[in-house]
Chains A and B, each alone.
Chain A
Amino acid sequence: MTQPILDLRGVHKSFGPKDVLKGVDIDVAPGKSLVILGGSGSGKSVMLKNALGLMTPNKGQVIFDGQDVTHDQGKTREAMRARIGMLFQSGALFDSLTVWENVAFRLLNADRMSRKDAKEQAIATLKQVRLGSDVADLTPAEISGGMQKRVGLARAIVSKPDLIFFDEPTTGLDPITADAINDLIVEQTKALGAAAVSITHDMASARKIADEIAFLFEGKILWRGPASTVDNSGNEFVDQFVHGRAHGPIQPAI
């Protein structure tokens, strides 16, 4: 078996008295696409932030490419982040910068590329996500939500990472735009040969981009299997979620 690019071992995270993650175990093989399903507030974003080192687990380990990076800081942390791309749930584009400066942010700052080269590379990457060079000089506030997701995607892939996180890439988009984003995710991760971890509640999106699906419930990974088996997982919790029923073992979060 090949060494996983990312491996979470027994990750716990709580905020005050509230336990959000209670021992998450999950690993991602290089070049594979893993989708994590889970209800609103189940801790999916918190899990990604722990994996990225934006939060530190209370207990457990985060292993990236064979290295324990749980408590890394400074240079070693940055070396890890240079190999990871992230598409944030809210887009998180820098609104004081133009679209191309957003895409080229790592090239301009961490890699100290010249503005001219960085802009060229940013425009080429924008083209890969089907955005023309005419948007390059606009600010994020001047483009639509779907375009912002594309820019976020371009920013995540511009430095050719080995692992990309997608936090709800299709929420807030119409079904057609959402499907176009799904296509782009599949196309670009395959082109880079990168592993992908995506979070979603959108089953259509999950079926399209996943090699494997995992289900996060009450702070643990409750089920995991190949994407094709999600409809007959034999797990009543997964069944209820996949078919979107209000009645079943899971109580709606309202």
Chain B
Amino acid sequence: MSNASTTKRKSFVNPLQWLGRATLGMLSEVGKLSVFTSQVCLASFTPRWYLSQIFRQMIAIGFYSLPVVGLSAIFIGAALALNIYTGGSRYGAEQFVPNIVVLGITRELGVTITGLMLAGRVSAGIAAEIGAMRVTEQIDALKTLSANPYRYLYGPRFLAGIITLPLLVIIADVIGVMGGWAVSVFGLGFDSTTYLRNTLDFVTRNDVIVGLIKAVFFGGIIALMGCYHGDKSSAGATGVGRAATFAMVGAAVLILAFNYILSSLFVEFGL
């Protein structure tokens, strides 16, 4: 009792100390994450590659995410079209719906929504899986059997992430645009052929490439956050649960931050 109140008083009296400790903690976390990232990159881009593991992860990360990505994209595309229509009608600019939908989807929403959905589905899943392997000594067992976890576990997930995310984003872009098209044609009275022609005439190669470059980064972030938090997961079900939560939140925040950073770089370079 007296003990608890002393610690409480201490942290209350000295907020500077608390602030200092929090800053140091964050810096050391950034340092650890950077070291981890460079080790994963090294393992991903130099032999030896476990091809069957990479393939397995591409199925797990890419193929099984198709339903969730497709569903999210269609609703986002539909909602986007509705909002642009409502907003545009204030200026009599309803005819720009197809243009703005395709721009918004390819440059921004297709990739961000895919990234965020996969932060939940994939990042948390990887963290839980690796965390369970950590606490049941399977990672130690890998090492004693002369398999490097960076090559056998983390590298394949990282590669699968940066390969499959762009593919998923292409699919999300197409489905998202179709969501907007469906609402516009069946709900708002647009002509189907005109809508599609306006879409295709308006969209540029750069719009799509911008989204795909972002997708490569987001795929890497999703896999890395899952592996990193799983790898340093502490014992027990709570430890693994926490690892999954940290991975998801960390991936989501980093995705939004990188989305902004990359977007401003693209603006800078006129992409």
Contact = CB atoms under 8 A, between A and B. Distances in A.
The binding surface of chain B is classed by DSSP as: helix
Interface string B209-236: 0000000000000000000000000000
Tell which of B137, B138, B147 has the most Cβ of chain A within 10 Å. B137
Contacts of B137: 88-90, 92
Given A86-B141, A109-B152, A92 B146 contact: no
Interface of B: 50, 133, 136-138, 140-147, 152
Contacts of A106: 145-146
Given A90-B136, A94-B133, 4 more contacts: A81-B144, A81-B145, A92-B138, A109-B145
Contact of A49 (B138, B140, B142): B140
Contact of B144 (A84, A91, A109): A84
Interface of A: 49, 52-54, 78, 81-82, 84, 86, 88-95, 105-106, 109-110, 155
Contacts of B147: 105, 109-110
Contacts of A52: 144
Contact of A78 (B133, B136, B140, B146): B146
A78 B137 CA distance: 18
Contact of B141 (A78, A94, A109): A94
Contacts of B138: 92-95
Question: What 9 pairs between A and B have smallest CB-CB spacing?
Answer: A92-B141, A110-B146, A92-B137, A78-B146, A106-B145, A88-B137, A86-B144, A54-B140, A109-B147
Nearest to B138: A92
A82 B147 CA distance: 11
B146 A109 contact: yes
